[in-house]
Amino acid sequence: MAGGGDLKVLGVWTSPFVIRVRIVLNLKGLAYEYAEEDLGNKSALLLGSNPVNKSVPVLLHGGRPINESRIIIQYIDEVWAGSGPAVLPRDPYERAVARFWAAYVDDKVGSAWTGMLFRCKSEEERAEAVARADEALRTLEGALEECSKGKPFFGGDGIGLVDVVLGGYLGWFAAIDRIIGRRLIDPVRTPLLAAWEQRFRAADAARGVVPDDVDKVLAFLQTLLAIGSMK
């Protein structure tokens, strides 16, 4: 595998932002070392590698740090353009569209996810966050239909930028489903996304990276709430 001993990821196993980076490394067939961080006691390597935000993920390439997940993904795609499938489209317009929807996922779905799990102080606030997530997912249902052109993924035949950005949240969605008593990605309300989720979870690059043990994720949530951090 490419990458050798040059690549190291500093992360947290449940972080959507770490998960997406690991999936892209897997898609590219790159070997890397993964180091789990303790968010209550961040390592000197993490603090030194990302002194501005002090957050995961960090990709170390030959000892040099690259920070922020969407930047890391684009870096990997550019540096290893000849390894594995392209994550971003080569066509400039299609690349711009993919970047738009990836940003939409983090702005709308990501903010609702943070609200549902970490910021809500009441059931009313949680219900508002769930409603925001529902609205964003309905919009993404339409985006999937448009971007995929009838193919399996936002990226077409293969997993692309929008797929990995949204797919990083799937482990937490399953935990939220347990909390709210229904599915966020529902086969009735969003049938295209529900089918997409099954395909994404089954992909070789995602298996073993996207959490599938809901009880374990919920237990980890209590740890995060105790330290007040997901980064």
Quickly state the pLDDT bin for 1 (edges 50, 70, 90): low
Q: How confident is the model at residue 5 (pLDDT cuts 50, 70, 90)?
A: low
pLDDT at 60 over 90: yes
d(CA 164, CA 19): 8
Q: What is the pTM of this model?
A: 0.95
pLDDT at 203 over 60: yes
Q: Give one word for 84, left, alpha or beta, with left for phi > 0 and alpha for psi -120 to 50.
A: left
Query: Where does the pLDDT of residue 227 fall: very low under 50, low under 70, confident under 90, or very high at 90 and above?
Result: confident
Q: Across all residues in the chain, what is the average pLDDT?
A: 95
* Confidence at residue 228, expressed as pLDDT on a 0 to 100 scale: 75
pLDDT in tens, 79-122: 999 999 999 999 999 999 999 999 999 999 999 999 999 988 89
Residue 202, pLDDT > 60, answer: yes
Ramachandran assignment for 156, one of left (phi > 0), alpha (psi -120 to 50 degrees), beta (any other): left
What domains, with CATH codes, occur in the chain?
7-79 (3.40.30.10), 92-227 (1.20.1050.10)
- The rounded percent of the chain whose pLDDT value lies above 70 is 97
Note the pLDDT tens digit of each residue in 17-46.
999 999 999 999 999 999 999 999 999 999
The confidence band for 3, taking pLDDT boundaries of 50, 70 and 90, is: low
Alpha-helical segments (H) within 14-156: 16-27, 44-49, 69-79, 92-104, 111-114, 123-148
Say yes or no to pLDDT of 4 above 60: no
Q: Which residues contact 198 (CB under 8 A, 6 or more apart)?
A: none
